[in-house]
Amino acid sequence: GIIGVGRVGSNVAKRLQAFDMNTIGYDPYIPEERGRQLGVKLVDLDPLLAQSDYITLHVPLTEETRSMIGSDEIGKMKNGVRIVNACRGAVIDVQALAESLRTGKVASAGIDVFPEEPLKPENNPFLAMKNVCLTPHLGASTREAQVGVAVDVAAGVAAALRGEPVATAVNASPITKHTLSVIKPYFDLCERMGNMGIYLAEGRISQITVEYTGELIKTETAPLTTAVVKGMLSPILQETVNYVNAPGIAERRHMDIREIKGGKDPYFSTAVTVTIHTDQGTHTITGVLFDGKEARIVRIDGYRVDLTPKGYFLLAPHEDKPGMIGQMATILGEAGININGMQVGQTTTEGTNMMAVALEKDIPNDVLLKLKSIHGILDIKVIHCEHQ
């Protein structure tokens, strides 16, 4: 079982398959078509835990993946399972893994990464265990790797000086000064819209459509579309995502990136609308610039809002009835979470509104569960919008 079927996980799959191993994977951001191409059957996390004889982790450390393997998850695994963690130490609960190794629930483990590095012997339970193989977070920190990198760089520079193609070169499309002057104010808006989109979307992303109106119709907007993709991929990937490699990463993940120009926004002279299609539905975000510089979100899934896309905020579609705002504010206040701003977005559909609440900090899971239990709340999404 491979948890995280990105660049590293997919290469691990190829090597496992060379030994005739059946490979299954868990990665909510990989389309099923990509899984079929890799020969990896994509499943949810619980089935992977229950079916796997070997479990290897290849995920970035995010709020979603921190301690994603704890005592409950280990309890769902086969007796005698073997675990390999070579991504980030904090994705596994160290004490839970140590206890399972002592009892034999986990037969053995290979660990290259630790919550605190360098490893402190007095705080690590694995050093005295004979069924654990430890390595010091090697990564590329071997003499062979360092020499290989130096040789590759030197060969690339020499090839460029000879006017020859450079196999390892990564190039971005050129942008004229005029085009840059038009689109530059929109970069931050587009990246933040993509950032929001990954928190809104559920399931595997198959298509991202970016629609431009107004002054953006007649200019080159590919860099802005790349900004959307960069903002969407950065929070979920361990590798650095930038304006050069973002399109290639999206292509490898079989995300269909499309641009639409034309049409007219009913309320704004120039607007950018991002639509995210997944196997579980579609979400749409519209953003504009106020006074040509201030990024604002003006529509989310048809609800009219006026949000500055920065920091933490939650979005809560709900039934249009008295008391909804009061209940929400009470729970947040009791949890010591300050509300920086609140508004209610309306839509053309009668009977439903959407609360948009700007928060001082993130919401703990127990508080989130209380909010979701409010009668009349249809859904809640917590957004952490930042410039990557």
Cα–Cα distance list, 166 to 68, 152, 156, 171 (Å)? 41, 10, 6, 11
| CA 384/CA 313 separation, integer angstroms | 7
Helices (H), 201-304: 222-233, 246-252
Active site (annotated) includes residue 384 = no
Q: Which residues contact 255 (CB under 8 A, 6 or more apart)?
A: 31, 205, 206, 207, 208, 229
Got the DSSP string for 103-123?
A: HTSEEEEEE---SSSS--GGG
Report residue 259 as tokens.
Answer: 């641009």
Count, in order, helices (H) and strands (E) of the chain: 12, 17
Q: Which long-range contacts (CB under 8 A, 24 or more apart) does 336-339 make?
A: 337/361, 337/363, 337/367
Of 32, 82, 99, 137, which one is the catalytic site residue?
137
Number of C-alpha atoms within 13 angstroms, CB side, residue 190?
24
Distance CA(352)–CA(321), nearest Å, equals 9
Q: Is 88 a catalytic residue?
A: yes
73 is catalytic: no
Q: What is the DSSP code string of 132-184? A: EEE----TT-SHHHHHHHHHHHHHHHHHHHTT---TT---PPP--HHHHHHHG
**Tokens of residue 374, six digits:** 């409010």
| Catalytic entry in 88, 192, 253, 283 | 88
Cα–Cα dist 108/80, whole Å: 8
Given the residues 117, 239, 251, 319, the one annotated as active site: 117
Q: What's the alpha-carbon Rg for the chain, to the nearest Å?
A: 24
Q: Could you give the residue numbers annotated as active site?
A: 88, 117, 137
